Amino acid sequence: MGSALEQNLRAITIADRLRAEGISRRGFLKFCASTASLMALSPAMVPAIARALENARRPSVIWLSFQECTGCTESLTRSHSPSIENLILEQVSLDYHHTLQAASGEAAELAREMAMQENQGKYLLVVDGSIPVKDGGVYSTIAGITNVDMLNEVAAGAAAIIAVGSCAAFGGIGHARPNPTGAMPVSEIVTDKPIVNVSGCPPIPTVITGVLAHFLTFNKLPELDELGRPLTFFGQSIHDRCYRRPFYDKGLFAESFDDEGARKGWCLYRLGCKGPATYNACATTKWNQGTSFPIEAGHPCLGCAEPDFWDMGSFYRALSIPTEDTTRTLVYGVGTGAVLGAAAAAMARSRKSKAKALHYKVSVSDLEESS
Amino acid sequence: MSSSEDRAVNAFREQIDGPIASYLSSCVHCGLCAHACLFYTETEDPRYTPINKVEPLRRVWKSEYTFFGKLASMLGLAKKVTDDLLKEWEPLIYDACTLCGRCSMVCPVGNDISYMIRKTREGMVAAGYAPDGLKGATQRAVTIGSPMGVKFPALQVQIHNVEKETGLRVPVDVHGADYMALLSSMEIMNFPEYIGALVKIFDKAGVSWTLCSEAFEATNSGMQIGSSDLEGELLQRVVDGAESLGVKYVISPECGHAYYALRWEGPNVLGKKYPFQVIHILELLDQLRLKGKLKVEDKVDEKLTFHDPCQIVRKGGVVEEPRSLLSLVASDFVEMEDAGVMNWCCGAGGGVSANERAQPLKLAAFKRKKSQLEALGVGTMVTACANCRINMEEGLEENNMQIEVIGLTETLADHLA
Amino acid sequence: MTRDTEQVRQPGICFGRDRGNDRPVLTELYHALQALKRCGKETVIDIKSLPFGSIDEQRLAEFLGKGEVEAVLHALGESRITETAFPGIWWIEHRNEHGEITAKSIEVAYIPGILKSQRDDVAAACRRLGSLVQLADPDGEPGSIET
Amino acid sequence: MTSVEFLAWVRGPMFQIAVAIFVVGVVIRLIEIFALGRKADLSKPRGGETMPGIKTIVRRSIPDPGTFKRSPFTIVLGYLFHIGLFITILFFVPHIELFHDVLGLQWPGLPTPLVDAVAIISIFAMLAILANRLRNPVLRFLSNGEDYLVWAATLLPLVTGYFAFHRMLFPYQTMLGLHILSVEILLILFPFTKLMHFFTSFIARWYNGAAFGRRGVQS
C-alpha cells in the first residue's frame, strides 16, 4: 500500500533526509564527526564520510535471532538512550526483528518475506545467536522453521551478513563443550556471503552501530581481521589500549581482588585477565555512556570477544597457565618414566653383566707389537 | 668375541658406569677442556680436545646405555665403533693424553674426563690398539718384572753400591718390618741416589723398613696401557710381597702413576681391600718432620721451584706435604704459575714416556713447562716423580735450558742434620 | 584522626598520579603546534580513541586550561568549542539533544573548521536573505543594498 | 587454523604432550644413570665424598682463573646467556603463574623492564655464542648438528617471547602461540639432547667432586 512512498523515501539520500529535517551543513558536519568517532575512524576521515553520506541510501535490515539470550539486542537498545546511534538506526529500515517489532505470528513472518522480496540481493541480514544443527536443527525453531533453514533462506538474498555477538560470530556458549545442540556460528553455515563478525558477549553497542554506519556510509563492509571482525574496532587488544598497561610494563600486579595492588589499580594479569589475547574496543569505547569497562571496574577481562572463550580455562587463571591439568601430566609422566626407566635400566644392567661374563682377559700375548 | 671391534665394545660395556653416563649426558661441547690440556694448548690441534678422545666409549654408551640411543641403533641410526675408528683414535688416547686430570678440574659441567680416557684405554688394549712402545714395556713388566727389564740382581748391585757409599745397610726381606719400600726401575737404573736417601733418612729417624726381593718394582705399565687385568697381575706381586713380609705399610716411591695405581686403583682392580696401608714417600717424610725425626743442618740457598707430579698432587692428594718439606730444606722456594692441583703435566705421564711414536708430541707439550720455568728464572727444579724428572731433563736439554732437576727425597737426605 | 584527605582517596584520583597516559598526548600536541606554526598544517586528535583511565582526560583538560575563546554551536544538540590556554589548541565536545557526548577531540588549528560558516549554509542564507529583501540578483553583494 | 585455535592448541593438548615427553624422557634418563651406579671404592679414602661433591657442584659454576684467562669469551657468554635465561624463565611474572599452577610454588617476580633487558642481553649472548661456535676452531671441530639444533631451540623461546611481549611481527595470539610452541619444542628435544645437562651436570659434578674428594683434592 504505502510501499510507493516507502520506495521514494528510500530513494533519497541520508544527507537529503537530514536537510529535510532542517539540519544545517554545520550540523551535518557534526553528524559526520560523530559518525567518524563512532566508527573509530580518524577525524581526518570526516570529509570522506561527508562525501559518502551525500550519496548513501537507506538499506533494509532483517534481524534474525536464533539460539541466543537477547543480550545482544539489549546491549544495542539499552545503550545510551540512543542518540547518534539512534540517528544511524533511523537511517535503516529495520523490517524484521522479532523482539522489537510490534507484529507477531504470521504477520511478522510476512513482513520478513516481503522485505526479502522487495530488497532481493540488497538487504542487510543481522544475526544474533548460534545455530543448532544437531538432529536436523530441531533444538531451535521459529514459526516451525528451523534456524538453519531460516538462515539459509534469508541469507540467500542478503547483500551481506552481520553476525552480532559471540554466539553468531563464533558459536558462543552454545558451542562450548560439550555443545549438546551442535551449535554453529553463521560463518560455518553460510559460506557464500560477506560476513562481518561483531563479537563480544554482549558486543559493544557502538560497535554494532559503527558497522551499520560503515555499511550505510560507504555501502560496503569495513576491513576485517582473520576472524571476520572489523579492524577498526578489533585491530588492537584490550591490553594494548588498557590504561593499566603501564603497570603491566612495570611488573606491578594485583594478586587478589582485595589486596594493595587491586586497590592501587595495578594490572589484573595474575587474576586471569585475558586482555592481552582479546581484541575488542572496550578499553577505548567503554560501556554505559563511556563510563567504564570491566578492567576499570576492577575485574579481569574474560576474553568474551574471542572464539571459544568459555573453553579457554578458568576466567581467573592467568593467560600463561595451560588450559589443562599439567600437574596431573607431570605426575603420570614421572610414573610412566619410572616404569620405562626401570625397564631400560634393567636392560642396561643385564647388558653390562653379560659383558662382564664375556670379559676378555688381556694377557701378554695380546701385546704383540703390531708392526 | 673374535673380532677386535667386539673386544673393544665389550670392554666399554663393562666399564660404563653411572658417573660416565652422567658425564656423557652432560657434555655441551663448550670446548673449555681443550684449554686445560697441554696437548691442545701447545699444538692447537682441535682433535686433542680431551672430550673428543672418549668418542669410542661415547658411542657405546649412547647406543647401548640410553633408551633413546638404543631406539636409534635399532633403526640403524647409531654410529658404530669400528676398527677404523679405534685406529684413528689410538694416538689421541695414548700419545696425546698423560691422564694428568687437568681437564677434569675445569670442565664446567663436572666431567671427570681423565677417568673416562682411562676407561677407554681398557677397550683399546683389549682390541689390540695400543702403542708398540707401551705394549713392549707392559710385556716386560709382566714377564720380566719391570718395564725396563730390571731384575733383582741388578737391584742388588745398586744396593751394594749404596751400602758402600753410605756405610749403612739396606734391609732386604726383613720380616715384620713396619714399612716395605718400593722402587721404580727408573730410580734403580737412573737415580740410585734415591735408595741412598731412603737409607740415610730412615736410619736417622729410626724407621723400621725393608725392601722385598720378590716385589720391589712399583711402576705399573698395566695401568698405563689401560688393562685392569695386567695392572692387577703386577699389583698382586706387591700385595703378595707385603703379605709375606707382614708389613704394616707399603711405601710408594717418587713415581706418580705407581702411587696412583697402588693407592687408588689397586684395591678396586684386585677386588679386595689391602691388609696394609699404602703411603707415599713424601707423606711418610712429612710425618717424620712433624714428629721431629727429620731435621736438616742447612738449607739450599739458591732459588728453586717445585714441579707437581700430576698423579701425586692433583690425582693423588699429596699437595701440602712436598711444600712443607721444601720449606724445611729450601730458603728461596718459589711456586710456578698454576702450582698445586692445577699445575701442568711434564708431558710424559700416562705411558707417553714409553711410547716412542709420541716423542715429537711430547717435546711439543714440554713447551708449556718451558714457559712456566722461564717465567720464574730458577736454576733448580725439585720434583717427586722419576718419570717427570727424566722427561724434564730431556726436555730441558732439548731446549738448551740450564736447570738442574732433583728429587725431593734426595735433597732432604743431602741436607740431613 | 586523619591528617588530610588522603585517607578517603577516590580510587580514580589516587591511581591517576603515576599513570601518565596523558604525557604522550602533550608531546603530540607540541609537535602539532610546531607544524601549524611552520606550514599551517592542522591536526585533529580523537580523545575517545586514547587509552585513558578516568582521571587522565580530566588531568589533560586541566593542564591545557581555558583560553580566550569559548564558542557554543547549536546544531543537533550543543557543541562546545573552547580555545585552551595554549592558543591554537582547541578542545571540542559535541553533544546530542540529550546532552550526551557524541564526539570529543582536540584540534590544532588557527580556527576549527566547524566554526567557519559553511559554503552550503552561506548559499542558503544568501537565498533566504535575498528573498526577504526582494533582491532578485542572485550574485548581489550585501553591500549593494541601499539604506 | 586461526590464531585463536592455534593458541588454544598450544596452551591445551600440545602443552600436555610436550610436558609428558619431557617428564617421561628425563625420568628415564636419570634412572638410567642412577641404575648404572658405581662400584664401591675399596681404596682407603683420604677425604670424604659428600662434602667435596657438594662443593664441586657449587664451585664448577665459577671458572678457575687460568681457564678464564684462556677462554674469557666462551665463559662470559656462557654466563650471560645462562643467567639471562634463568632470570627470564623464573622471574617473569606470567612464567611464575605457570610454575605456580604446575608446581604449586610461588616466588616474587622481577620488574618487567628488567626481565625485558635481560632477555635482550640473552638473545645477543646467544647470537655471539653461535658466532663463537663457528669461529673458534675447537668449537667448530666439536660441534655437530645437535649443537646447532639445541642452540636454535634455546634461542627461539627467547626471541618469540620478546616479540610476543612487545607485540611485534604477528598479532599477539599468534606470537604467544609461537612462543609457547617453541617452549614445547624445547621440552620435547630436552631428554634427547645435551639439554639434559640441566639435570645431569649436577650429578656429574657430584661424582667428580666425590672421586677427587676421597683422594683428598677439592676438584
| Domain-located, residue D26 | yes
Can you read off the three cell numbers belonging to residue B234? 703386577
Give me the CATH topology for the region B135-289: Glutathione S-transferase Yfyf (Class Pi); Chain A, domain 2 (1.20.1050)
Chains B and C in direct contact, meaning 3 or more beta-carbon pairs closer than 8 angstroms: no
| pTM for the predicted model, two decimal places | 0.84
* C121 and C65 fall within a common domain: no
Higher-pLDDT residue of B312 and A39 is B312
Among B residues 45-74, those touching chain A with beta carbons less than 8 Å apart: 64-67, 70
Q: Is B162 left (phi over 0), alpha (psi -120 to 50) or beta?
A: alpha
Sorted by where each begins, the domain ranges of chain A are 58-233, 236-333
Q: Do C51 and A241 touch (CB under 8 A)?
A: yes
From the list A355, A366, A369, the residue facing B13 with the nearest CB is A355
Distance CA B99, CA B105 (A): 12
Can you read off the three cell numbers belonging to residue C142? 550585501
Whether B8 and chain A come into contact, CB under 8 Å, resolves to no
Residues in A touching D28 (Cβ below 8 Å): 337, 340-341, 344
Q: Which positions ≥6 away from B362 have C-beta within 8 Å? A: B347, B348, B352, B353, B391
Closest CA–CA distance from residue A332 to any residue of chain B (Å): 19
N- to C-terminal Cα distance for chain D?
A: 54
Q: Scanning every residue of chain D, which has its alpha carbon at the shortest distance from the alpha carbon of B34?
A: D138
Q: State the total domains in chain D.
A: 1
Q: Do A320 and D31 touch (CB under 8 A)?
A: no
Q: Do C15 and A265 touch (CB under 8 A)?
A: yes
CATH number at residue D38: 1.20.950
From the list C21, C73, C100, the residue facing A243 with the nearest CB is C21
* C92 and C121 fall within a common domain: no
| Domain-located, residue D34 | yes
Residues in A touching C109 (Cβ below 8 Å): none
Q: Name beta bridge partners: C103.
A: C94
pLDDT of residue B343: 93
What is the residue-wise DSSP string for chain D?
Answer: --HHHHHHHHHTHHHHHHHHHHHHHHHHHHHHHHHH--PPP-SPPSS-SHHHHHHHHHHTTS--HHHHHH-HHHHHHHHHHHHHHHHHHHHSHHHHHHHHHHHS---PPPPHHHHHHHHHHHHHHHHHHHHHHHHSHHHHHH--HHHHHHHHHHHHHHHHHHHHHHT-SS-HHHHHHHHHHHHHHHHHHGGGSGGGHHHHHHHHHHHHHHHHHHTT---
Q: Work out whether strand B380-383 and strand B304-306 pair parallel, antiparallel, or are unpaired.
A: parallel
CATH number at residue C84: 3.30.1370.140
* C139 and C96 fall within a common domain: no
User: Chain C residues contacting A, CB < 8 Å?
Assistant: 11, 14-15, 19-21, 44-46, 48-54, 56, 73, 75-77, 79, 94, 96-98, 100-105, 107, 113-114, 117-121
* C143 and C73 fall within a common domain: no
Closest CA–CA distance from residue B215 to any residue of chain D (Å): 20
pLDDT tens digits for range A102-118: 778 888 888 888 888 88
| Domain-located, residue D183 | yes
Class of domain A236-333: few secondary structures
Q: Do C51 and A285 touch (CB under 8 A)?
A: no
Among A residues 282-311, those touching chain C with beta carbons less than 8 Å apart: 283-285, 289-290, 292, 296
Closest CA–CA distance from residue C66 to any residue of chain A (Å): 22
pLDDT tens digits for range B180-202: 999 998 888 888 889 999 999 99
Q: Is the ipTM of this complex over 0.90?
A: no
* Assigned CATH for B294-414: 3.40.50
Length of chain B: 417
Whether A341 and chain C come into contact, CB under 8 Å, resolves to no
Distance CA A114, CA B394 (A): 113
Q: Do A24 and C121 touch (CB under 8 A)?
A: yes
pLDDT of residue B232: 94
Whether A35 and chain D come into contact, CB under 8 Å, resolves to no
Residues in D touching A308 (Cβ below 8 Å): 4, 8
Q: Is the Cα dihedral D16, D17, D21, D22 positive or negative?
A: negative
Of A320, B386, B163, the residue nearest D100 (C-alpha): A320
Q: Scanning every residue of chain D, which has its alpha carbon at the shortest distance from the alpha carbon of B310?
A: D217
Closest CA–CA distance from residue A178 to any residue of chain C (Å): 38
**Domain limits at D80?**
3-214
Q: Which pLDDT band holds residue C139 (cuts at 50, 70, 90)?
A: low
Higher-pLDDT residue of A126 and C145 is A126
* Average pLDDT value for residue range A56-70: 85
H or E segment to which residue B21 belongs: helix B18-26
Closest CA–CA distance from residue C26 to any residue of chain A (Å): 16
Name all chains with 3 or more CB-CB pairs below 8 Å to chain C: A
Residues in B touching A352 (Cβ below 8 Å): 13-14, 16
Sorted by where each begins, the domain ranges of chain B are 4-129, 135-289, 294-414
Closest CA–CA distance from residue D183 to any residue of chain B (Å): 20
Residue C15 above 60 pLDDT?
no
| Domain-located, residue D46 | yes
Q: Do A84 and C96 touch (CB under 8 A)?
A: yes
Distance CA D45, CA B294 (A): 26
Give the rounded percent of residues in chain B with a pLDDT score beyond 90. 85
**Domain limits at C47?**
5-112
* C80 and C135 fall within a common domain: no
Q: Of the given ranges (A80-89, C100-109, D54-63), which has the lowest mean pLDDT?
A: A80-89
Q: Scanning every residue of chain A, which has its alpha carbon at the shortest distance from the alpha carbon of D105?
A: A327
Residue D176 burial class via C-beta count within 10 angstroms: exposed 0-12, middle 13-18, buried 19 and up? buried
Q: Do D102 and A326 touch (CB under 8 A)?
A: yes
Q: Which pLDDT band holds residue C147 (cuts at 50, 70, 90)?
A: very low
Q: Scanning every residue of chain D, which has its alpha carbon at the shortest distance from the alpha carbon of B46?
A: D138
Residue C146 above 70 pLDDT?
no
* C41 and C85 fall within a common domain: yes
pLDDT tens digits for range D176-218: 999 999 999 999 999 999 999 999 999 999 999 999 999 999 9
Q: Do C73 and A30 touch (CB under 8 A)?
A: yes
pLDDT of residue C18: 45
Residue C3 above 50 pLDDT?
no
Q: Do A360 and B128 touch (CB under 8 A)?
A: no
Residues in B touching A356 (Cβ below 8 Å): 14
* Average pLDDT value for residue range A193-213: 88
Q: Do D97 and A333 touch (CB under 8 A)?
A: no
Q: Which pLDDT band holds residue A19 (cuts at 50, 70, 90)?
A: confident
pLDDT of residue B67: 82
* C78 and C146 fall within a common domain: no
Name all chains with 3 or more CB-CB pairs below 8 Å to chain A: B, C, D
* C91 and C134 fall within a common domain: no
pLDDT of residue A30: 84
From the list D7, D32, D97, the residue facing A341 with the nearest CB is D32
Distance CA A301, CA A239 (A): 9
From the list D42, D67, D140, the residue facing B106 with the nearest CB is D67
Q: Most A CBs within 10 Å: which of D9, D90, D93, D105, as the mutation test of the A interface?
A: D93
Closest CA–CA distance from residue A346 to any residue of chain D (Å): 8
Q: What is the mean pLDDT of chain A?
A: 85
* C59 and C90 fall within a common domain: yes
Q: Do A226 and D36 touch (CB under 8 A)?
A: no
Name all chains with 3 or more CB-CB pairs below 8 Å to chain D: A, B
Q: Do D112 and A248 touch (CB under 8 A)?
A: yes
Question: Residues D163-170: contacts with CB within 8 Å, 24+ apart?
Answer: D165/D112, D165/D116, D165/D119, D167/A237, D167/A240, D170/D3
Whether A10 and chain C come into contact, CB under 8 Å, resolves to no
* C132 and C76 fall within a common domain: no
Residues in A touching D19 (Cβ below 8 Å): 326, 329-330, 333
Higher-pLDDT residue of C12 and D148 is D148
* Assigned CATH for A58-233: 3.40.50.700
Q: Most C CBs within 10 Å: which of A29, A51, A250, A258, as the mutation test of the C interface?
A: A29
Closest CA–CA distance from residue A73 to any residue of chain C (Å): 21
Residue A195 above 50 pLDDT?
yes
Q: Scanning every residue of chain C, which has its alpha carbon at the shortest distance from the alpha carbon of A249?
A: C19
pLDDT tens digits for range B383-409: 999 999 999 999 999 999 999 999 999
Distance CA A310, CA D97 (A): 20
From the list B22, B110, B337, the residue facing D60 with the nearest CB is B110
Q: State the total domains in chain C.
A: 2
From the list A83, A240, A292, the residue facing C96 with the nearest CB is A83
pLDDT tens digits for range D30-53: 999 999 989 999 999 999 999 999
Q: Scanning every residue of chain B, which has its alpha carbon at the shortest distance from the alpha carbon of A351?
A: B13
